[in-house]
Structure 1
């Protein structure tokens, strides 16, 4: 059940992305939040299914829990706090510029790295077939989602996305992008 809800969540995100470019229907904007809620719900359902067989004294449980905490904080920060709220959720107009500071100086889609970390950590904590399958499907769908954003929607939404693509790695940070990220957190460009 969790797997189906997770797939529906990404389907809603794909519709949201298409709406930003093609239809511009205000009632479809809710698909972003709905998609995220489906993904979280799918994960919670799968965690609850694996809860009974959890081995809290195993080292993989504690390593997984530690890593989960770190990756979850990074994911939430990247998606909801790294970009100023006004820039990402209020100033939604045609000729927007890419936000290139903080986590978004690290790579164009840093949330994917933390998303993989979250699901990898959950597999360590709950090494069940259903969690492994959910993790593989969610990570794959998230990767497809950011490819769609990188190739199709973001170049149309952001007037300077082409320049951003030239300067910033797609997923995996380079030494240069790591240094730029550190400098942007220190308040320098």
Structure 2
């Protein structure tokens, strides 16, 4: 129960961050994103601690997959975009990043987030990780829809054009090619 409620609270802070970026622009609320990430990190650590599986046949492949998805998630959120411009400065009127991971689809972080939590659950087992995987993925998907409909059209001057060229979540063969081609250039 605590893991589902905790995840929901973290996503409320993500929403608070978005509202602040678009409407209020309060310096005091800039930390809502970091606070939410820290909350998810603590919940994840606690859920891993409660994991019940110690079988290397599940632990090793699940752990390797989880690490790969975590690296993809961190790269996509914190390194594929200019950090300060994305998470610190006022966001109105910017242009969308259309290269690398963001050529793949508009919300690649949702894919990596789900992959990370379900791989972690496969590796360690336990109800808390399953709750984090299911609740977090559903909330992350809903958050991506919110951003796609409300936050990003108000933040990026060219978001409507980006919507037409990049799939929402499920990559197309052409977007995979564009992603790989632009990743190599970067």
Q: TM-score range by the shorter chain?
A: over 0.9
Partner SS, residue 154 of structure 1: helix
Q: Quick check: 1:3–1:42 contact (8 Å CA) kept in 2?
A: no
Q: How big is the shift at 1:21?
A: 1.8
Q: Provide the C-alpha distance between the structure 2 equivalents of 1:16 and 1:183, rounded to a whole number of angstroms.
A: 33
Q: Quick check: 1:6–1:41 contact (8 Å CA) kept in 2?
A: no
Q: How big is the shift at 1:42?
A: 0.9
**Equivalent residue for 1:113, pick from 111, 114, 117:** 111
Partner SS, residue 30 of structure 2: helix
The alignment's C-alpha RMSD in Å is 1.6
Alignment length, in residue pairs? 185
| TM-score, scaled relative to structure 1 | 0.91
Q: Provide the C-alpha distance between the structure 2 equivalents of 1:108 and 1:49, rounded to a whole number of angstroms.
A: 34
What 5-or-longer segments of structure 2 have no aligned partner? Answer: none
Q: How big is the shift at 1:84?
A: 3.0
Q: Provide the C-alpha distance between the structure 1 equivalents of 2:85 and 2:97, rounded to a whole number of angstroms.
A: 8
Q: Which residue of 2 aligns with 1:45?
A: 46
The 5 Å alignment of 1:128-147 reads 128-147=126-145
Q: Which residue of 1 aligns with 2:53?
A: 54
Partner SS, residue 186 of structure 1: helix
User: CA distance change for structure 1 residues 176 and 186 in 2, over 3 Å: closer, same or farther?
Assistant: same
Q: How big is the shift at 1:92?
A: 3.5
Q: Quick check: 1:5–1:42 contact (8 Å CA) kept in 2?
A: yes
* Most deviating of 128-137 and 26-35: 128-137
What 5-or-longer segments of structure 1 have no aligned partner? Answer: none
Q: How big is the shift at 1:71?
A: 0.5
Q: Provide the C-alpha distance between the structure 2 equivalents of 1:99 and 1:56, rounded to a whole number of angstroms.
A: 42
Residues 43-79 of structure 1 deviation map (CA, whole Å, 9 limit, x = unaligned): 11111122xx33233x222220110111011111111
Following TM superposition, the consecutive aligned residue runs of length 4 or more in structure 1 with deviations greater than 6 angstroms are none
